[in-house]
Structure 1
Amino acid sequence: MAGGNALEEPEVDAGFEFAFDNDAFSDKLLRIEVFGSDNEKSSDSSRILMGTPILRVNTVNVNSAILAAKSPFFFKLFSNGMKESDQRQTTLRINDSEENAFMEVIRFMYSGKLTPTTEPTLLVDILMAADKFEVVSCMKLCGQRLMGLPMTPQSAVSCLDLACSVSMPAALAEAAKKFLAERYKEFLSTKFQDELMRIPLAGIVAILSRNHLVVASEEAVYDFVLRWADCQYPNSEERRKILGSRLLPLVPIMRAMKNVITINQPSYKLYINLERERCSRLFLSGSEYCRQFRFMGHLFVLSAHCNMDSSNSFGLLLEMPVEDKELVRGTIDYKFEAKTRLTLEFDTKYESTCTIGSREDVRCKDLFSVPWTNFIADDSPFFIDDILHLRIHLKIVY
């Protein structure tokens, strides 16, 4: 990470190192109850985790005036008339993943210094603990240190996650975004796929937010986003929310189709005009190829048919290749619509829902619910100036 003057703040020796954990200069005994990392985290460290076993207990002698001067959290803890403010022993409850960082923050409040480290993840942990206990000077120093260290994918993502909950300097967040965008500039390359599938949402958003991605096609970006969301969010409701609100708006093909696509439920309308003469040939051939098209990275093949049953009828078949159906979980809602001379408006003639991956196709054997002779007759209401107007309406729901 490049250095930034806005973050630079020299370490200040607070001059109280001699008093740390020294009974002679302390008026409080801080009892630290450490719980497992899987427990729910809370910004209120005195919150009792009922029924949760304590892994271990540490005790530290502290001076309440020193801690209160550096931290509004401890100022309130020691002065607001709570039980902890009247007793010599005060209890805090933290997760074991926070333990080392919390002790660094306590020592910092005495000395104004941090233990020398070149490990970005440790500095991120300390910064999170400093934010939790409202030690602003420690947060600033952690930011300064982070800006002076080389970034890693893990530390970059951690910095971006912090930006949602911690008052992070803009320069640090921007450095993390720049690192991720540069590292994964060719993010569809095979060598990055396993690594990218493990990167959390904040990192993927940062990568997609950059406009200079080197990709084979916009559809490839869309397909990657679907695969990543499918891997990270097995719950369909949560996946749909993340795709619609955070990811799909960043995909180039979605931005280009914003007048057609509803982001949280991508939809598409395909218009087909068939001449009466071409429809007539269906009676002899049985089927007639109409259209092959792609929508949201999936290939669709639409064909018209004369179904040779007892009455014969006009029908439509919409197919997807097997490999496309297996790309992602979700459903596709279909509507087959047609104009008539009676209204000159598109009316829904058939609708269905298909699960992607089920390998089923959508088939309507009798679109107009009339025999073939009525459909193709000169006075048929389905032809306007000898043209059959069809519309296929698709909506993908993840």
Structure 2
Amino acid sequence: MRCCMSRFQEEVMALPLPGIEAVLSSDELQVANEDAVYDFVLKWARVQYPRLEERREVLGTRLGRLIRFPNMSSRKLKKVLACNDFDHDLATKLVMDALFFKAETPHRQRALMAEESANRRFAERAYKYRPVKVVEFDSPHTQCIVFLDLKREECAALFPTGRVYSQAFHLGGQGFFLSAHCNMDQQSSFHCFGLFLGMQEKGSVSFAVDYEFAARSKPTAWEFVSKYKGNYTFTGGKAVGYRNLFQMPWTSFMAEDSHYFVNGVLHLRAELTIKPQALC
């Protein structure tokens, strides 16, 4: 069942409970991210079940299990804990399970998904923005480490001029995102894989960020190898990155013997740091 939630939101809002359950059960649901699914479910439940007791019952026994909390952002998961629409104990369990899943290694995550293939809570939908795993630090500097995984078929689909965006993540109160591109190298002689870091908000706010891109590669497989680092003063809507992250043509990057696909997955990491003197 393929459904674009944003395009047909009015129609979906009018669906009865069994219809909503069918929509939320689909892996083909086209939506920006799982945060948007959560927001929609709350909106629908508040309209259809204005009494808190009834709403909690429906969310707790029918709809909550269909929201894929492990794919939600950490910022949104914090809001789940404060949401009165869910029973507090249930909300705590859902969030803790999601955070434990996020903390697992990719290998263990795939194993959990295989173990619970009938339960789709770990499965990804047709998200517009790719989920990321984010680790945040406040000391000694404001820093975050962002992990973005792309399947081989997702990378192949980028050729010749495509791009894919990550979900937003936050550093120093500002929203950022990663974008992976298939583009031409600096001399426009061949296609290659590029990775970029962008800032969401537009406006007068600007600050300098140290950033480093890394990727896992064979034969070590589980170790990230630095590929590019730099410093950039961001303003709203700007992006920075490297057009040829792996310094090779697209055909070599996508080859069957490519060092950068581990079990069919490209593992990328971005480290962002704001130092005190860099704040503007």
Shorter-chain-normalised TM-score: which range? 0.3 to 0.5
More strand by share: 2
More helix by share: 1
Say which structure, 1 or 2, has more relative contact order (CA 8 Å, 6+ apart): 2
TM-score (norm 2): 0.46
